[in-house]
Chain A
Amino acid sequence: MRNNNKSGMSAEAREMDGRQTAKRKMEEEPNRLIKQIAQEKYKYGFTTDVHTEVIERGLNEEVVRLISAKKREPEWLLEFRLKAFRHWQTMEMPAWAHLTIPEIDYQAISYYADPTAKKKGPKSMDEVDPELIKTFDKLGIPLEERMALSGVAVDAVMDSISVKTTFKETLMEKGIIFCSISEAVREHPDLVKTYLGSVVPFCDNFFAALNSAVFSDGSFVYIPKGVRCPMELSTYFRINAANTGQFERTLIVADDDSYVSYLEGCTAPMRDENQLHAAIVEIVVHDRAEVKYSTVQNWYPGDVEGKGGVYNFVTKRGHCRGVDSKLSWTQVETGSAITWKYPSCILGGDNSQAEFYSVAVTNNYQQADTGTKMIHIGKNTRSTIISKGISAGKSQNSYRGLVRVAEKADNARNYSQCDSLLLGSHCGAHTFPYMDVRNETAIVEHEATTSKISEDQLFYCNQRGIPTEDAIGLIVNGYAKEVLNKLPMEFAVEAQKLLTVSLEGSVG
């Protein structure tokens, strides 16, 4: 085993080596302006005025039964939920992350909100409330197929309900199933029963148990043997109702020799209260199949003083079950007040490959503890981890990653690179790499760097006519290029803009 650690693992931002005067000026700079920018920058902070059926706050077995009944679920799924709920009650919130999480009152949250509940009786999918269509239009997600981005099918989820899934029929012609998980439970129960909880068991962790008890909509994807999915599949998550939590559940199954690229996006209104989002994403990759999963996470991050924002506690895991299977996670994390998220991969099949490409931006009072786990079990398995943290304001940004090589995983190979970029002198960047290597033939490499955008770099850009905000955009996008290049083209441009916008007002 080779452990190549080129530089320090952890770095606290130190005093800017810049000049005192400049710093004083920066501090004196009217807060008003910075505030204004910070308030303006979150473009998705509006709320939709739509009749929403919200169940009473609180969590107990009755609530779990009520959710299951509302979704007209079969008995086995109710049992699954109840088992998870009972287990959850015995658990405690994890405290090991480098996060300060205020106490969460799980009885003060409503666990089910249905914005489509206006009409009584069974709803036809064609009759989507125009108000909801408008909302998704405003978010840049047209739900009319003729208006949609070419080559992208969308499942639009608001609060606990999938509002509409586009191109379903087109995909079905190839045998591809793309629908909400609730619909999959009704229409494809055998598939769901086989795979649900097979990658992330309900007892996996505190938030996974909670999700397994109360999960609502998310997407279900099944790509049959030998099929290459002809379009990007995507799910857009939107929280709208106040005082509710969102518990999405997504399950993707790629059968032998299939391929799919999937993208997930999310936003929420600006609210002073924190909102809870606890999701599970499970991916199963069979022989020679390939799944690319990309996330652009832009939940409301809270205001410039750290008030409000979404708590994003997410369990994402893929299982490269088959030989020569491949899974790639790409994430651009700019939102949420607190992020606790480690998209991971179990490399079970021989010769399977996994990648984790991440850019995590934190500004103001945001906190992120994010990274991955690569569990090598099969022979000749390979994994790559590229993590780029960007911290600004008073935020804390941590990379946490585990690379485990099991005894029988001959010739496993991992390469990890974790870079941190600091803006300003009040933020923190931390790296927590864990390695557990039990096979002598493994090669595991870890590199880490920490750098900082200096005042001199910004001034150099200014002198060439480039305003500070654009200069930060240039530098940050250059730094994150390796990860952004992994995103599907349509979204790479959006993600670039998002990075720049998220850091607005971060340097005086």
Chain B
Amino acid sequence: MLEIKDLHASINGKEILKGINLSVKTGEVHAIMGPNGSGKSTLSNVLVGHPAYEVTKGTVTFDGKDLLTLSPEDRSHEGLFLSFQYPVEIPGVSMVNFMRTAVNEQRKYKGLPALSASEFLKLMREKRAVVELDNKLANRSVNEGFSGGEKKRNEIFQMAMLEPKLSILDETDSGLDIDALRIVAEGVNRLKTPETSVLVITHYQRLLDYIKPDVVHVLYKGRIVKTAGPELALELEEKGYDWIKKELGE
């Protein structure tokens, strides 16, 4: 599904990613953990093509395609989704209008006809249930005046609408209380199929209590320094990141 080889990327001329190698197979859930500033968010931003980041070296293949040559919107159309750490507010643009445009752009890319208004509203009702998103929120402007928890739920709702092959959850647990965390995680699990993969980027272990990873990676100073099974997350939770630093001889 996703194959990253020797990926280097920088922002404002400063190199953040210093040779990432990562392979996510279809149906797998991977977690990327690491201390603050290790490059976790940079990795997710680079994968979805944020223009502020520059890829200086390496390749990324997504479902057989050279991901780095695709525009951000085409990466989305190909089935890549990012649940943002800080979803932005877009005043004046209703969620309905926003999602309808997004869904129909994807359908256009796939050569499918646009959904009619009634088909679309039906789809929206169905998917809203996945994350228990209030109808009132769906009728408001995108993220405007949403609480932290509502914004994250709205991200997962959008994920449900767009049915991506690979979803990246960037610090989805930050700013969530335990109930919201459960709802969001259950939403992700409900959407998970054997054909889709998930990349969970997180600082803490607690989200991984709900979304069980197959593989856990530790990102440190722009490199993946350790890869193991789900037990690695628990070990990190117990010992903290200093243990990794020591192991690396720092």
A interface with B by C-beta (< 8 Å): 18-22, 25, 451, 454-457, 459-467, 470, 474-475, 478-479, 481
Contacts and interface: CB of A to CB of B under 8 A. Distances in A.
B69 interface: no
B109 to A, nearest CB: 7
B12 A19 contact: yes
B101 A474 contact: yes
Interface in B69-112: 71-73, 75-77, 81-82, 84, 87-88, 90-94, 97-98, 101-102, 105-106, 109
A465 B162 contact: yes
Nearest to A18: B52
18 contacts: A18-B52, A21-B13, A21-B51, A455-B51, A457-B88, A460-B84, A463-B48, A465-B76, A465-B106, A465-B162, A466-B73, A466-B101, A466-B105, A474-B93, A474-B97, A475-B93, A479-B91, A479-B92
Nearest 8 CB-CB pairs, A to B? Answer: A478-B92, A465-B76, A19-B52, A462-B72, A464-B102, A478-B93, A22-B52, A479-B92
Nearest to B158: A464
B53 interface: yes
B206 interface: no
B51 A463 contact: no
Contacts of B75: 463
Contacts of A462: 49, 71-73, 76
Contacts of B82: 463
B88 to A, nearest CB: 5
Contacts of A18: 52
B11 interface: yes
Contacts, number: 87
Given A455-B51, A475-B92, 13 more contacts: A18-B52, A19-B52, A457-B90, A459-B72, A460-B142, A462-B72, A464-B76, A464-B158, A465-B105, A465-B109, A465-B162, A475-B93, A478-B97
Contacts of A454: 88
Nearest to B90: A457
Nearest to B13: A21
B57 interface: no
Given A460-B90, A478-B92, A25 B51 contact: yes
Contact of A465 (B73, B88, B94): B73
A461 B95 CA distance: 12
Given A21-B11, A459-B51, A460-B84, A470 B94 contact: no
Contacts of A465: 73, 76-77, 102, 105-106, 109, 162
Interface residues of B, number: 37
Given A463-B72, A465-B105, A467-B105, A20 B12 contact: yes
B50 A451 contact: no
Contacts of B77: 465
A332 B51 CA distance: 33
Contacts of B162: 464-465
Nearest to B78: A465
A478 B87 contact: no
B87 A460 contact: yes
A475 B93 CA distance: 6
A196 to B, nearest CB: 42
A474 B98 CA distance: 8
A19 B88 contact: no
Interface in B150-195: 158, 162
B3 interface: no
A226 to B, nearest CB: 40
Contact of A459 (B50, B97, B106, B142): B50
Nearest to A460: B88
B54 interface: yes
B38 interface: no
Contacts of B92: 475, 478-479, 481
A460 to B, nearest CB: 5
A439 B76 CA distance: 59
Contact of B94 (A25, A464, A478): A478
A457 B76 CA distance: 16
B50 A470 contact: no
Among B11, B53, B93, B105, chain A packs the most CB atoms within 10 A around the CB of: B93
Among B75, B87, B91, chain A packs the most CB atoms within 10 A around the CB of: B91
Contacts of B50: 459
A470 B103 CA distance: 13
A463 B88 contact: no
Nearest to A481: B92
A465 B91 CA distance: 19
B26 interface: no
A454 B81 CA distance: 20
Given A19-B11, A463-B82, A478 B51 contact: no
Nearest to A479: B92
